[in-house]
Chain A
Amino acid sequence: MSNAAAEHAPNPASADGIAARARGLTKAYGSGETTVLALDSVDVDIARGRFTAVMGPSGSGKSTLMHCLAGLDNVSAGQVWLGDTEITGLRERELTRLRRDRIGFMFQSFNLIPTLNAAENITLPMDIAGKKPDEKWLDQVIDTLGLRDRLKHRPSQLSGGQQQRVACARALASRPELIFADEPTGNLDSRAGLEVLGFLREAVDQLGQTVVMVTHDPGAAAHSDLVLFLGDGRIVDEMERPTAEAVLERMRLFAGGDPQTPGFDVVRGRSDGSGPPPGAIPTTGNPSPEEP
């Protein structure tokens, strides 16, 4: 993987359109001969105000990437910034506060605290912080997600789709800099899944949020602005304005062949390495190789 971006790593503080950034991010499990590299010197920039999907087969390190970017897991090497805050090297307490105040989360399942009702779940991060939620924004989020008449319900009284909508509302409620969604549609039927993806899309387009979604579903990835493909702990490719078919096609290639084969490049239509390196965020105006 090219290190072009890392070589002239810009001052993160000045990188305005960047919500999160990783340089040389490495995560190893075990030691000695049994060392497994979950992430192998990954460089990535998450553009602000966009919907980024992270795809890859099982064990490709996509969840680990999310965990490291979100400050849930510590890294073996490299640096991670959230906005202009370097989070690698932060202490546990600061990381907790950072997650609470600046990041929103959606998980595949078990997203909600069963003892709290929908409204209490939505405001939980702010309650934990002892902050007053912005009522106007909260109302907007609740109405956008259509949760108005479900606020007093406990999670057990909600359908899976409704639960994910509540989780989505919670992620949005504190207007975080970045929302991480880990397989948010994994446990839903396709209709409910589409609904949740639609809301995430809306959150980006209408509410101006930044969303990073980990998924293995090409259909889900197609709702994003940009898909990052992970394989063996590296970002092996990316795709702007993806379609489900294109993503599926690429995944198939990915599964069939050597991840380092030029097959990806063929699809990307670029093999000289002169363009933006894989893993780097395509700058605006950079023509997408595949128009829908």
Chain B
Amino acid sequence: MLKATLRSFLAHKGRLLLSALAVILSVAFVAGSLIFSDTVSRTFDRLFASTAADVTVTPRETLDETVPSGQTLTLPASLADRLSQVQGVAAARAEVDVEGLTVADENRESVGPTTGAPTIGTAWNPTERSPVELTSGHAPQGDGQALIDADTADSKDVRVGDRLTVIGQEGSFPVEVVGIVTFTTTNPGAALVFFDTATAQTKLLGDPRGATGISVDAAEGVSDAELKRRVADALGSDAGSYELRTADEQAKSDVEQLGGFLDIIKYVMLGFAGVAVLVGVFLIVNTFSMLIAQRTRELGLLRALGADRRQVRRSVLTEALLLGLVGSTLGLAAGIGLAVGLIELMGLMGMNIRANEMVVGWVTPFTAYVVGLGVTFVAAYLPARRAAGVSPMAALADAEIAEIGRPLRLRAVAGSVVGAAGAAALVGCAVSSKTSSAASLLGLGVLLTLVATVIAGPLLVRPVIRVLGGAFPALFGSVGRMSQRNALRNPRRTGATAAALMVGLALVGGMSVASASMTKSFDEQIDKTLGADFVVQNSNFVPFPKEVTERIEGTEGVGLVVRSQFVTIAVRMPDGDRVKTTAAGYEPELDEVAHITYAQGDTAAALAAGNLAMDKDFAEDHGVRVGDTLPVEFQGDRRAELRVGALTDQESAEGFGAQGGIYFGLSTLEKYAPGGQDAAVYVNAASGTGDDDLRAGLEKTLDPYPQVQVRDIADYKDLVHDQIAVLLYLVYALLGLAIIIAVLGVVNTLALSVVERTREIGLLRAIGLARRQLRRMIRLESVVIAVFGAVLGLALGLVWGVCTQQVLALQGMTALAIPWGTMIAVVIGSAVVGVVAALLPALRASRMNVLAAIAHE
């Protein structure tokens, strides 16, 4: 039996090729993402472990910042001297390390990374643990000298002797590049600038006695943990305001900080893998179903010769496992290639990881084989059971595919039950008023309706394709009629083939509705709330130094300037919840630049000293009323009691890590969180100054600050659109993969159908069907299958999108927009996909030998 299985596997290897490709793609994405993330985290583990001091002392951060406030926490540099006296300490150094700088070249262009990675300013204290070494020039001495890392220097063409402007939170200052440092370890992608310690302290921290941390080296024979204990003892009662970490802990914390970014890449990759697996399953199910249908006679013969059901089933499953084994092995190899590609891509983005240090943990091949074998096994199980059900009589009967006639009743029942449950979940999500429960209902509904559509797909083939292909006989005559009927011929097969395309397009449909709705909602909100002529802001909400604001105020034609800052706070609500969130502080003239709707109170009450305002619904949820006094905690353990002065009734109060839409007067913010930087400045023109003039003026005065942008309402909308577009691009990339696999599926189905219909095609050719007509017949069949999948997918996606919008509406995104243009483009695109998928099968059919096709056995 095994021999027969092997023979059969080899005999059908051509037909299994496309299925194998689906397995390979799935496994490659899984393996690639695992290898990539393993390699990257190993690299960074090593980097951080090798560069961390034995013990690091930093100021304690009482609240993690979600939105940068511009504050840098400092500790006295003299602490280093104190700690160096501690028993077991070999040396202690004050470190200055400031993120979020902007460094501009002589053309006033930023030399920092374009990837969103930070530019870091550091005091030059080279030790054997430094990640860099000086490779040309000399160490910086005194004001106005700096080193820059070689990768940045290369990419931005900076040389020793060049003059740069460093824009830090305390202001900007000019430097001359006196040396280049080169990474001895992996460059994590940031741009590094080094100054002497005094410069870093005065210019970056604004505090000649400050430091951002102390590095402590252990004396011989003292372990890191022991050192940490001794340092903690030495700090005594002060220990509570510092964070002490051993080298291991420091490395772990550094990796965690980077982790977010790496996790995104990992999840994106796993998302691709998921789509590949999902769509691949359809392809494999279809292939095995067709192969078994074609081999009905052969299987019947095996049964007639005495093979029992179990043996037949096992034979088919063995074939599937062989496919899985081959697919997984090739997929693993492809995954390694993919990981290399990703690492190279990271290199282009400035993160130089060495591909030859690639880590392939045992988990990777294990997972690859589990996924590959699992997918094929699961996908082949049903066809295998069907194969086992072939009766010995089938060997004698005519082979014209017995399965066509099998009733779809079970599918109808299962499809409607699951579909009803999914619909109920979606309705529940649409009427739900709680974001969290609505979101989980949405997820459930999406899953169930997807499953229902896959199950019921074959039932929809007849009605939908009758309509879609309805014009074919009129347009293309008998060729059109035959292609339409061929698509209807085996609804199960057509359904499963189209399902692969449907899954991808349903995702696209849903996401495009959601994103169009988000875009429209944001537009409406911007129109409604933003009243300023211009907003001056950094990209990524990073604040900018005070001198930018001063420059704005000094610009000719500027009428009103309203500053705002962000701050991380924790509020103890009356119901006992401690809510950590980002709050905003505004200057009193807020009403001039924004339109805020209040449920109670007004802007004056909201911004008055010692007051705050929050969203009405948020307040209700937590039992807050106007006039209540709430304990508010700021960074560095500063505490305040603030009175609720007003409640807002805004459509969108949340987002970007902010919860509750809390804001107060800028003076209140500065009182409790001094040293913050302006995150956005709203500007109105003075009377008599046109917007264009003002913009020109602002852009001119802000020219030295490449990180700052001047935006009017339209620009602001564009910014939001761009951010949503990033999400869409990801979806389109997913779609691309889904479509590739779906095309493979259509090619597969058509190719096998062509083989199955050899005699029919021969007959058609004999009675005078031209090759061109034959090709057209297959092409039309392919198109109608693809469009069927697209229509089904888009319909499903539309429902998902509308429900998603209902969930988003709870977050204030109340506008619903359906991108009909995109939808129509997708349908047209799917027709093109159909044409492409038909190329090879049609060619093959038209090359078929007429005689071989009609000759009787």
Contacts and interface: CB of A to CB of B under 8 A. Distances in A.
Do A and B form a real pair? yes
Interface of A: 63, 67, 70, 72-73, 92-93, 96-97, 99-101, 103-105, 107-116, 120, 123-125, 127-130, 170, 183, 186
A130 B448 CA distance: 48
B478 A127 contact: yes
Contact of B771 (A73, A92, A101, A111): A92
Interface in B664-705: none
Judged by DSSP, the binding face of B is helix
Interface in B475-502: 477-479, 481-482, 485-486, 488-489
A91 to B, nearest CB: 11
Listed residue (A101, A120, A128) with the most chain B CB atoms within 10 angstroms of its CB: A128
A72 B763 contact: no
Residue among B486, B759, B850 with max Cβ neighbours from chain A (10 Å): B850
B480 to A, nearest CB: 10
Contact of B768 (A108, A116, A129): A129
A186 B857 CA distance: 12
B769 interface: yes
B485 A125 contact: no
B707 to A, nearest CB: 66
Nearest to A64: B851
Given A111-B763, A115-B485, 8 more contacts: A73-B851, A97-B770, A100-B767, A110-B760, A115-B482, A115-B489, A128-B764, A129-B768
A113 B482 contact: yes
Interface in B755-800: 759-760, 763-771, 773
Contacts of B764: 113, 124, 128
B474 interface: no
B4 interface: no
Nearest to B398: A109
A101 B489 contact: no
Given A73-B851, A92-B771, A125-B767, A110 B759 contact: yes
B637 interface: no
Nearest to B850: A72
A164 B430 CA distance: 60
A114 B767 contact: no
B64 interface: no
A104 to B, nearest CB: 8
A96 B771 contact: yes
A63 B855 contact: yes
A125 B763 contact: no
Given A96-B768, A124-B767, A128-B769, A115 B477 contact: no
B854 interface: yes
A100 B768 CA distance: 4
Contacts of A114: 400, 489, 760
Interface string B484-523: 0110110000000000000000000000000000000000
B409 interface: no
Given A72-B850, A92-B771, A114-B400, A124 B478 contact: yes
Given A63-B855, A116-B481, A128 B766 contact: no
A107 B856 CA distance: 9
Contacts of B478: 116, 120, 123-124, 127-128
Contacts of B769: 96, 100, 128
B766 A105 contact: yes
A118 B766 CA distance: 18
Given A116-B482, A127-B478, A108 B856 contact: yes
Given A72-B851, A110-B759, A114-B760, A99 B482 contact: no
Nearest to A93: B770
Nearest to A112: B763
Interface size bracket, B side: 20 to 34
A211 to B, nearest CB: 16
A108 B477 CA distance: 27
A116 B767 CA distance: 15
Q: Which of B477, B481, B854 has the most C-beta atoms of chain A within 10 angstroms of its own C-beta? A: B854
Given A72-B851, A107-B854, A113 B760 contact: yes
22 contacts: A70-B766, A72-B851, A92-B771, A93-B771, A96-B765, A96-B768, A100-B768, A105-B763, A107-B766, A109-B856, A111-B763, A115-B485, A116-B481, A116-B482, A120-B478, A123-B478, A124-B478, A125-B768, A128-B764, A128-B767, A128-B769, A129-B768
A146 to B, nearest CB: 22
Contacts of B759: 110
A131 B349 CA distance: 64
Contacts of A67: 851
Contacts of A127: 477-478
A225 B379 CA distance: 60
Contacts of B768: 96-97, 99-101, 103, 125, 128-129
Nearest to B855: A63
B407 to A, nearest CB: 16
Contacts of A107: 763, 766, 854, 856
The CB with the most chain A CB atoms within 10 A, among B482, B486, B768, B855, is that of B768
A120 B481 contact: yes
A111 B766 CA distance: 10
Contacts of A129: 768
Contacts of A110: 759-760, 763, 854
Interface string B816-854: 000000000000000000000000000000000011001
B479 A128 contact: yes
A250 B477 CA distance: 49
Contacts of A120: 478, 481
A124 B773 CA distance: 13
B477 A130 contact: yes
Given A72-B851, A73-B851, A99 B481 contact: no
A152 B563 CA distance: 81
B766 A99 contact: yes
Contacts of A170: 767
B112 to A, nearest CB: 65
Contacts of A113: 482, 760, 763-764
Contacts of B481: 116, 120
Contacts of A115: 482, 485-486, 488-489
Contacts of A72: 766, 850-851, 854
B765 to A, nearest CB: 7
A259 B770 CA distance: 40
Contacts of A101: 768
B760 to A, nearest CB: 6
Contacts of B771: 92-93, 96
Contacts of B482: 113, 115-116
A47 B166 CA distance: 102
Contact of A105 (B767, B770, B773, B855): B767
A3 to B, nearest CB: 28
Contacts of B489: 114-115
Contacts of B854: 72, 107, 110
Nearest to A183: B856
Contacts of A125: 767-768
Contacts of A111: 763
A142 to B, nearest CB: 18
A101 to B, nearest CB: 7
A70 B765 CA distance: 12
Given A73-B851, A100-B768, A116 B763 contact: no
Contacts of B760: 110, 113-114
A186 B489 CA distance: 28
A182 B479 CA distance: 25
A72 B478 CA distance: 22
Contacts of B855: 63
Contacts of A73: 851
Given A96-B768, A100-B767, A115-B485, A128 B773 contact: yes
Task: List 7 tightest A-B contacts by C-beta distance, closest first.
Answer: A100-B768, A115-B485, A127-B478, A99-B768, A110-B759, A96-B770, A125-B767
Nearest to B485: A115
A99 B856 contact: no
